[in-house]
Structure 1
């Protein structure tokens, strides 16, 4: 079955942060048995998920995002904890969280509303910035919250990085890594 590609705008992560998160995942994989672990090159923070897209609409979104990001500066983010989405005893997503940062929320707002203006129908749930690390709980026993606390490497210190770029990604369902950066929009460095 040939699936149409999906597109999304996201904050790209620096290579050293991707490597550090991948190293972390290797150390906790056995204690947190999820079915599919995300390839390190696919780590990102989604700002707007577009789904399938016609070329004209996608080009309009890119143009509007460029306009909205003009003059926007890079900023610091800090990965500080682990969490899950989904059923309490069988979560579907395992993720890393960032310390709340107003600049990230404003950046997301600019990208999100550009995509709406371009004609995309977007997710209406509240924005919860996160980096997906794994999917679908596969443990032989129900998931328990204390697994996160006992495997939290950020208890002592957060993992800081500079958000320097927004990118447009295309999903390839038949590849690993499955996200291809097809456009990059750098933020100003100070």
Structure 2
């Protein structure tokens, strides 16, 4: 069964900039997966496998959020990790706390829970994954990585189908434009 997530695609120029910056860190030596620029995103909620009838209902429910949220300005805030500092599972670009983004994620979660979807209920930590799956090739991970603070505006979010054997791996199947009044 097809797996899905709900997320926010990065602007193309910013995604390419992050990939170019990442090249200098040689994360391919320590991690198995380095997403291509087209796959860089902010995950609002991982859905996993969803039946087609339920997915149609969810898309309709998510459309109702269009008028409730205006575009959201967010700022990238350095590089961080998930996991052990010496063998991190994930290296990511952090995002400054932004109440509107938290509220959008909560609204998406509520729509999913109302349909009784079995979703990931871990706390929402907005981030952009740069590398994942520690390869174990190097015993210690001591890299100095940083990015300049940059801001951009989120104008929409999408439901993505995950196609792990393709590049790019994520295909937007439905997009919701944030058109609410500010």
TM over 0.5: yes
C-alpha deviations, 1:47-93, integer Å up to 9, x for none?
A: 11110010111111111111123241002111111111123321111
Are 1:84 and 2:75 counterparts?
Answer: no
C-alpha deviations, 1:144-174, integer Å up to 9, x for none?
A: 4xx2xx22123xxx02111111101000021
Question: CA RMSD for the aligned pairs?
Answer: 1.8
Partners of 2:121 and 2:108 lie apart in 1 by 14
Partners of 1:105 and 1:20 lie apart in 2 by 25
TM-score normalised per structure 2: 0.91
Kindly state the Cα deviation for residue 98 of structure 1 after the two structures are TM-superposed: 0.6
Find 2:124's aligned residue among 116, 122, 127: 127
Q: Which residue of 2 aligns with 1:152?
A: 146
Find 2:139's aligned residue among 118, 132, 141: 141
Partners of 1:32 and 1:84 lie apart in 2 by 16
Partners of 1:81 and 1:176 lie apart in 2 by 27
User: Matched residue pairs, number?
Assistant: 180
Partners of 1:30 and 1:57 lie apart in 2 by 38
Q: Which residue of 2 aligns with 1:168?
A: 159
Partners of 1:86 and 1:130 lie apart in 2 by 14
8 Å Cα contact 1:90-1:136 kept in structure 2: no
Give the gaps of 5 or more residues in structure 1: none
The within-5 A match list for 1:1-190 is 4-29=1-26, 33-138=30-135, 139-144=137-142, 147=143, 150-154=144-148, 158-188=149-179
Kindly state the Cα deviation for residue 30 of structure 1 after the two structures are TM-superposed: 5.7
Partners of 1:176 and 1:135 lie apart in 2 by 16
